[in-house]
Amino acid sequence: MNKKNALVGLLLGLAIVGFLKRDFVTEKIKPLVHSPYKSEVLAVVLSTGVADLAPEHLDLDTLTRTENMYEGLVAFDRTLKIVPALALSWGNLSPTVWEFKMRKGVLFHDGTPFEGASVVAVLEKLKTFKAIRLTDPFTLQIETTAPDPLLLAKLTKVFITRPGNVGTGPYKVREWIPGGLLSLTAFTDYWGRQPVYRNAEYQVLPDRTERRRAFEDGKIDILSAVPRDQALELPQEQLKKSYGLEVNMLMFKLDDPRLADLKAREAIRTLFDPAKIEAIGNYFVRPATELVAPGVFGYNPTIQPFVFDEKNMAQDLFGKRVEKISLDFLETYRTLSEYLTKQLRTAGFSVQPNPLPADQLLTRIRKNLSPLFIIGWQADDGDAGGFLDAFLDSRGEFNGGRYKNPDVDRWIAESRQEMNPEKRLALLQQVLAQAQHDLIAIPLFESSRITAVKPGIVWEPRTDGLVLAAEVK
């Protein structure tokens, strides 16, 4: 793994947390020079449609469309660094009071002027803040009930909009067919840099054969979310593979007598060959070293990866043979599960593969019914805190292994309110190191996203997986 990602994580954390006292993050204003638009219509094709463009829908398929149109006070750039959007600058007046200086001269797509009252109207609907106040029409203060180091990350997905899919972004809606075509045109009064393409279309082609033929015929500029097996059918030089923030792992039910012994879990972790797992994923995955991905704030570069030991295949690692222990996993992970099952059985630990739909898998995990389960976690906000809350806190929603460590609970609680980025990073890394020591799970692989790009189209993948028309050249 590239250990310089730890620095990326630190920089990300500094961007998320902001600065204490009255030191404000401020955008350096650059003159915007608009070049003529490209005349071609940019064609982005997805396999899944969305029913509406409501700003509160935050799934990847919806955001790929709406982040062309809607903006919040701040935004993530393509590497998940916090950057100014409708707010020019921000900072902390105290650990619980944030102040934002907003842009002047911004217009909504319908010509309505943007001002602080537009933001207040949206934030008050959330009912999550202690107080929201304007000290002047373009200066906003948000008071939280407790210190919140992730407030800026949360605000990247609070879009300031008007009824009728009206935002302030670089594109506005020209035509919208629910579940199908979204046609966009450049908003000529946009406050920022104009996009290269005047017009862009987000098309939906569910049939994989139709998608492949349309791409090979040059009718698609960007083909998003290409399945790994289909990627093998496309010209490899036109594929862009990017690793996001997802780690897939094998987790243990720690209160199961067959898995409670640390020595048994230590033996299991030597059974899986990272090179074999890469091959199973058609080399569109890479080995994971810990429970969160590099680049996630909290990633601990001092944690050493587990080591495959082929000698254990010929040994009876577990004493007498253990029968009827299930391995729960998503139905799409059948090939991986077959490999894990084979390795466990060869070493004398028999398991029963149990493929499940996503909802059933999560239900079994929540109810502590899964002795062994494969689960993936993606840090959409670039921060390890969500994973720790869900999987490592003793009260976590997906702590299906019933992991309990009072020190870990205390460190997680402290990290939720620690506003100093260096101290918070140390807390998160301490938790992950302890979880690795206690061996609650075996990190298996990081997932990649695959995008097919037409020759001549200049575009680089984003860490969050969005394909935004305004970023295409």
Q: In the structure encoding, which two tokens stand for residue 76, read together?
A: 């993530």
Q: Give the pLDDT score at 311.
A: 79
243-448 has which CATH code? 3.10.105.10
Close Cβ partners of 3 (under 8 Å, ≥ 6 residues apart): 301
Nearest in space to 296 (alpha carbons), one of 146, 153, 413: 153
Which residues of the chain, if any, have pLDDT below 50? Answer: 1-23, 27-31
Q: Where in the chain is the domain with CATH 3.90.76.10?
A: 70-162
Alpha carbon distance 440, 391 (integer Å)? 10
Burial call 414-453: b when 16+ CB within 10 Å, e when fewer: ebbebbebeebbbbbbbbbeebbebbbbbbbbbbbbbbbb
34-69+169-221+454-473 has which CATH code? 3.40.190.10
pLDDT digits 0-9 by tens, 377-402: 999 889 999 999 999 999 999 897 78
Q: Is 354 helix (H, G, I), strand (E, B) or coil?
A: strand
Please say whether the beta carbons of 248 and 284 come within 8 A.
no
pLDDT digits 0-9 by tens, 203-231: 999 998 999 999 999 999 999 999 888 89
Q: Give the pLDDT score at 316.
A: 66
199-204 and 42-46 as β-strands: parallel, antiparallel, unpaired?
Answer: parallel
Q: Where in the chain is the domain with CATH 3.40.190.10?
A: 34-69+169-221+454-473
Q: Give the pLDDT score at 12.
A: 34
Q: Give the pLDDT score at 280.
A: 94
Q: Where in the chain is the domain with CATH 3.10.105.10?
A: 243-448
Q: Give the pLDDT score at 1.
A: 36
pTM, to two decimals: 0.86
CATH topology of domain 70-162: Dipeptide-binding Protein; domain 1 (3.90.76)
Q: In the structure encoding, which two tokens stand for residue 261, read together?
A: 């012994």
Q: Is 194 helix (H, G, I), strand (E, B) or coil?
A: coil
Q: Give the pLDDT score at 324.
A: 73
